[in-house]
Chains A and B, each alone.
Chain A
Amino acid sequence: MKANEKSGLAGILRAHEAEILEEWQKEQSAGQPRRDQLNDAEIRAASREFLGGVVEALNASGAVDMRSDAWSKVRDLLAELSASRARQGFSPTETATFVFSLKRPLFGLLRKEFANDAQKLGDETWNATILIDQLGLFTAETFQKTREQVISRQQRELLELSTPVVALWDDILALPLIGTLDSGRTQVVMESLLERVVETGASIAIIDITGVPTVDTLVAQHLMKTVAAARLMGADCIISGIRPQIAQTIVHLGVDLSAVTTKASLADAFAVALDRVGARIVKNAAPA
């Protein structure tokens, strides 16, 4: 965009603000089947703010480079809008329509403004297109990122649900792991185990991997690091439920388990743990 061309768009937008907003609202509603979810006042306010921000940015920077500082207010606005639409479950198209629907009213305005100057009309239309495309794409990208964040938050929540830390006894926690472990998941789970150890003051944590079909090097390493970390904190870990295949893998990988107590079953591990904390389970005498 050349220096004297920038004032074209900014000036036009400012001069015809009310008109553009009106037209733009209409376009937005036409493309928005779920209007019941957004109230009109909200849309109007967001649109006005956005337009204002665009004019400001165009005046300040003279160029449509979305990445520059002059555009940070507009970016923030779009990011906020896009993120909230993503969270509410709108589609990317519905969300980007906020920006793209500005094209028709803007082009209409340009046609009127430059009715007698085909060259200028062509140039300004091109500038307007670039501007709106960049803004629209940015909106779509932010939408995408927010969606990814929502998904990963849901994954974490699912993870927490599926790996509860159980207080078996006053001083004894158990963490029954179920399903395939990947490095990332193992790390998260191990960190939360250690947090629970601190919270409950449990001296022993039993990590039961009966429900884990396979274990790779990274996971085995995470397990060992967790055991070492727990020991540094003043708690002990017992690993139970190691299947024959996993035992082979672990030995094969050269992981040194000599410093860790391992038991075949959770029940065995619990018995050992009870013994260590000085407790015993006693059967009641048979009723006479």
Chain B
Amino acid sequence: MREAALNVAIPAVTEQPIRSSEDMVRLRQMVRDRAISAGLSLVDQTKIVTAASELGRNTLIYGGGGKVIATSLEHGGRRGIRLEFCDEGPGIPDIPKALSDGFTTGSGLGLGLGGAKRLSDEFHIDSAPGKGTRVVIVKWRPR
């Protein structure tokens, strides 16, 4: 067992584009790898990869393409992973509604924001028409 440091955030950051469906595959792989190295349980790994897939898809399809910034966190001895999805797309006009919408079957948008929120420990969204969208999720490894 190796302890890396005391109360210091150790950012190891990567940035990846989300502009194609191959990027989506790469996104999921990257998040899985990071989740594993943060020591997340299998279920928590699956949750964060799935949340990332949902948000990545939003970025790609609704946001017209964008990027993800992934950071490994360490705070007070607890490890975690932070994902930030950014796009310069149309922005989300009604965030509360988007968060409460269920999934639509068929070809509807079904933003999956609410789902991603439920799968994560922390969730922040910054979006407005004409201003693009920024969604941040964090998943911690429980003590």
A–B contact at 8 Å CB threshold (below): yes
A interface vs B, CB < 8 Å?
A: 66-67, 72, 75-76, 79-80, 83, 138, 141-142, 145-146, 148-149, 184, 191
Residue of A nearest to B42 (CB): A191
Give the CA-CA distance A184 to B43 in the complex, in Å. Answer: 13
Give the contacting residue for B2; candidates A79, A148, A184; CB below 8 A: A79
A142 and B3 form a contact (CB under 8 A): yes
B interface vs A, CB < 8 Å?
A: 1-6, 8, 43, 77, 142-143
B6 and A145 form a contact (CB under 8 A): no
Mostly helix, strand, loop or mixed at chain B's interface? loop
Give the contacting residue for A80; candidates B2, B5, B6, B77; CB below 8 A: B2
Give the contacting residue for A138; candidates B2, B6, B43, B142; CB below 8 A: B6
Give the contacting residue for B4; candidates A75, A80, A149; CB below 8 A: A75
Q: A79-B1, A141-B6 are in contact. List 10 more A-B contacts (CB 8 A).
A: A72-B5, A75-B5, A76-B2, A80-B2, A83-B1, A145-B3, A145-B77, A146-B1, A149-B1, A184-B142
Give the contacting residue for B1; candidates A66, A80, A141, A184; CB below 8 A: A80
For this complex, 27 residue pairs linking A to B, each with C-beta atoms less than 8 Å apart, are A66-B6, A67-B5, A67-B6, A67-B8, A72-B4, A72-B5, A75-B3, A75-B4, A75-B5, A76-B2, A76-B3, A79-B1, A79-B2, A79-B3, A80-B1, A80-B2, A83-B1, A138-B6, A141-B6, A142-B3, A145-B3, A145-B77, A146-B1, A148-B143, A149-B1, A184-B142, A191-B43
Of all A-B residue pairs in the complex, the 4 with the closest CB atoms, nearest first, are A79-B3, A83-B1, A67-B8, A76-B2
Chain B contacts of A148 at CB under 8 A? 143
Chain B contacts of A67 at CB under 8 A? 5-6, 8
